[in-house]
Amino acid sequence: MRARVLIRPKAGILDPQGQAVERALPALGFGGVRNVHIGRLVELDVEDPSQLPAMCEQLLANPLVEDYEIVG
């Protein structure tokens, strides 16, 4: 099965990448953009998708500072 895992910084943790992009967009003429947050996408083929949460907890995400979402 092809799986996709979205990993993003936890709410409330300063995300300087998101802030930098948020500041850059108006410079290109795109107004009205707020709350930009940048995470990453992991795509993987897995034989046993029930293992995905454990993979996220132990390696793909750092649960202390990141949330993950398995999006199928």
> Which spans of this chain sit near other proteins (rule: CB under 8 A)?
13-14, 16-17, 20, 59-60, 62, 64-65
In the complex, what is the shortest distance from the CB of residue 7 to other proteins, in angstroms, rounded to a whole number? 9
Task: Say how many CA atoms lie within 13 Å of 32 toward its Cβ.
Answer: 0
In the complex, what is the shortest distance from the CB of residue 36 to other proteins, in angstroms, rounded to a whole number? 14
13 vs 46, which CB is nearer to other proteins?
13
CA-nearest of 33, 71, 25, 70 to 52 is 70
CA-nearest of 24, 21, 62, 18 to 39 is 18
20 vs 33, which CB is nearer to other proteins?
20
